[in-house]
Amino acid sequence: MTQLNTEVEVRDRRLKSILSFSGKASELQEFSRQLKAPDKARTFTQCGDCAQMCAATICYHVRGAAVVVHAPMGCFATTPSTQEAINNSAKSRKVKPFNTQLICSNISEKETIYGGLKKLREAIDEAQNRFHPTAIFIQSSCAAGIVGDDIESVADEKQEELGIPIVPVYCEGFKSKIWSSGFDAGYHGILKRIVKKPEKKQEDLVNIFNFLGTDTFTPILKKIGLRPNYLVPLADVDTISRMTEAACSTHICETLGTYITDVLEKEYGVPKVHAPAPYGIKWTDAWYRELAKITGKSDIVENVIKSEHERIQPELEKLREELKGIKVYIYAGDSYAHNMGSIMADLGVEIVGITTLHHDMRTDGETIDHSTLQEMINVAGDIDKFTVCNKQPYEIIKVLKDTNPDVIIARHMNMTILAGKLGIPSLLEGEINISAGYDGILIMGRRIRDIVKAKGLLSTLKEYNQFPYTQKWLEDERLYI
Ligand code: SF4
């Protein structure tokens, strides 16, 4: 087990992350270079989310583990059940599905005064008796954090008693404005209490930090004689504990994966692939080359890249022709929006605007010249209408009316509903793995080509929709207040 601090510093401080910006992509990159927050910041927030949700995407999906959410029932209810996603993903990866094993300690008013450790111990015992898990995660909450419950001591005590890892995850919502801090909190707990030093190295194994999703990395890696170790969702505790045996680590999105890949590199000597995730042709080329350099496959990689380019070229050209004149707007988590920008550049569609849900001014273990924002500008050019906004519909409605796209690529469901009400077809990029690699570009092109056909239907829906915003606000030049 590693000697990391009890908690990982939240992104607000570690990565100087911000939640509001409106301007050009190049201007945001300049702010990031200078580590300077933009002058204007949002003072009114219409809605928000919690780091617990991001922590849950890590902890809820560990095969055989249980999660005790040490929180009032309301916090527990905000994290959606992901059972269907587990079943679909397991089917696609040809592994057995499993049930999530969740318990809420149900902190009430009394515990917020006298402390909730008794209830936490009871919940851990209940999880042990009910599920016989191979590890138990404890997700903290605002109430547990404010009353000062010593979760770490209970975890130590129960770990000794039960003989399985008991993993505290400090994802209290009040601690960070950036809900992606919950990813780091989940990984930090795993690194501290589950990950072990390698007993032997597996020279062809590549850690892929991803969400639930299709197995697209087996064929991608097989081309240069490697195989994926999908982490963390669907992996069991034993597999997770041995991630240090891999030849190197990579991810499907910097926002998700750079904290853990950086710690694995620095603490355990597992090299990280220092290239953006494989989305779009140039990024995939660079990723393959980096991967090949680390794993000693440089002699074969150029041939693979050349033949892959030749393979996709005919369909890519056809798609570019079909997509000519289409205007796309991208709305996604920080780095993943940049991944999409990279693919759009290859498809030749016009990017009329991008919104990221937050922006990390710094990236764990990467220089500012190689941030995905800079890498996207390098392949797609500057983006004139670039905003950072944590899902505020009162702002996004103005961005969409202003940019007037033909299609929206949205990573999150709420945006697809707003887009539909405005009569704009949207492509829900919920399943990330299918857009990876050279085939991912073609798949994305086909999806955009097909979804624009929904415009007629949606324009009828638009006619019957009413928004709660006043004309005065919609015409106000300010994007946020
Ligand atoms: S942990 Fe805090 S921010 Fe998160 S759902 Fe509970 S009260 Fe809300």
- 3-state SS of the chain is CCCCCCCCCCHHHHCCCECCEEECHHHHHHHHHCCCCCCCCCCCCCCCCCHHHHHHHHHCCCECCEEEECCCHHHHHHCCCCHHHHHHHHHHCCCCCCCCCEEECCCCCCHHHHCCHHHHHHHHHHHHHHHCCCCEEEECCHHHHHHCCCHHHHHHHHHHHHCCCEEEECCCHHHCCCCCHHHHHHHHHHHHHCCCCCCCCEEEEEEEECCCCCCCHHHHHHCCCCEEEEECCCCEHHHHHCHHHEEEEEECCHHHHHHHHHHHHHHHCCCECCCCCCCCHHHHHHHHHHHHHHHCCHHHHHHHHHHHHHHHHHHHHHHHHHCCCCEEEEEECHHHHHHHHHHHHHHCCEEEEEEECCECCCECCECHHHCHHHHHHHHHCCCCCEEECCCCHHHHHHHHHHHCCCEEEECCHHHHHHHHHCCCCEEECCCCHHHCHHHHHHHHHHHHHHHHHHHHHHHHHHHCCCCCCCHHHHHCCCCCC
What would the pLDDT profile of 96-140 be if each residue is shown by its tens digit? Answer: 999 999 999 999 999 999 999 999 999 999 999 999 999 999 999
Query: Of the candidates 167, 152, 215, which has an alpha carbon nearest to the alpha carbon of residue 62?
Result: 167
Residue 105 within a domain: yes
The whole-number pLDDT of residue 129 equals 98
Nearest alpha carbon, ligand 1 atom 5: 75
Provide the number of structural domains found in the chain.
3
CA of 59 to the centre of ligand 1 (A): 17
Same domain, 207 and 162: no
Q: Residues 6 or more apart from 411 whose CB is under 8 A from it?
A: 331, 332, 333, 336, 337, 428, 429, 430
Question: Does any ligand 1 atom lie closer than 6 A to the CB of residue 79?
Answer: no
Residue 190 within a domain: no
Q: How many CB atoms lie within 10 A of CB 347?
A: 20
Question: Does any ligand 1 atom lie closer than 6 A to the CB of residue 140?
Answer: no
Residue 193 within a domain: no
Q: Of 76, 169, 174, 390, which is best to mutate to test ligand 1, by the most ligand atoms within 8 angstroms of its C-beta?
A: 174
Same domain, 74 and 144: yes
Nearest alpha carbon, ligand 1 atom 6: 75
Same domain, 265 and 376: no
Residue 162 within a domain: yes
Give the chain's mean pLDDT: 95
Same domain, 276 and 158: no
Nearest alpha carbon, ligand 1 atom 1: 141
Residue 17 and residue 358 in contact, taking contact as beta carbons nearer than 8 Å: yes
Q: Residues 6 or more apart from 307 whose CB is under 8 A from it?
A: none
What would the pLDDT profile of 343-373 be if each residue is shown by its tens digit? Answer: 999 999 999 999 999 999 999 999 999 999 9
Same domain, 324 and 469: yes
Same domain, 146 and 68: yes
Q: Of 52, 69, 149, 151, which is best to mutate to test ligand 1, by the most ligand atoms within 8 angstroms of its C-beta?
A: 52
The whole-number pLDDT of residue 80 equals 64
Q: For the stretch 431-466, what's the b/e string if a residue is b when 16 or more beta carbons lie within 10 angstroms of its beta carbon?
A: bbbbbbbbbbbbebbebbbebbebeeebeeeeeeee
Same domain, 332 and 433: yes
Query: With a cut of 70, which residues of the chain have pLDDT below it?
Result: 1-3, 79-81
Ligand 1 atom having least distance to the Cα of 171: 1
Question: Does any ligand 1 atom lie closer than 6 A to the CB of residue 50?
Answer: yes
Same domain, 329 and 374: yes
The enclosing domain of 359 has a CATH number of: 3.40.50.1980
Q: Residues 6 or more apart from 69 whose CB is under 8 A from it?
A: 52, 75, 76, 79, 102, 103, 104, 105, 139, 141
Residue 195 within a domain: no
Count how many residues are written for the chain. 481
Residue 144 within a domain: yes
What would the pLDDT profile of 440-466 be if each residue is shown by its tens digit? Answer: 999 999 999 999 998 888 988 899 998
Query: Which of 145, 178, 211 is at the close of a domain?
Result: 178
Residue 144 and residue 175 in contact, taking contact as beta carbons nearer than 8 Å: no
Same domain, 124 and 233: no
Query: Which of 268, 298, 328 is at the close of a domain?
Result: 298
Question: Does any ligand 1 atom lie closer than 6 A to the CB of residue 173?
Answer: yes
pTM: 0.95
The two three-digit tokens of residue 377, written as one number: 């500008």
Residue 304 and residue 288 in contact, taking contact as beta carbons nearer than 8 Å: yes
Same domain, 171 and 207: no
Question: Does any ligand 1 atom lie closer than 6 A to the CB of residue 263?
Answer: no
Q: Of 70, 75, 111, which is best to mutate to test ligand 1, by the most ligand atoms within 8 angstroms of its C-beta?
A: 75
Residue 32 within a domain: no
Same domain, 138 and 256: no
Question: Does any ligand 1 atom lie closer than 6 A to the CB of residue 323?
Answer: no
Residue 362 within a domain: yes
Question: Does any ligand 1 atom lie closer than 6 A to the CB of residue 71?
Answer: yes
Backbone angles phi, psi at 141, to 5 degrees: -150, 175
Owning domain of residue 116: 50-178
Ligand 1 atom having least distance to the Cα of 78: 5
The whole-number pLDDT of residue 1 equals 47
Same domain, 360 and 426: yes
Query: Which of 239, 273, 298 is at the close of a domain?
Result: 298
Question: Does any ligand 1 atom lie closer than 6 A to the CB of residue 52?
Answer: yes
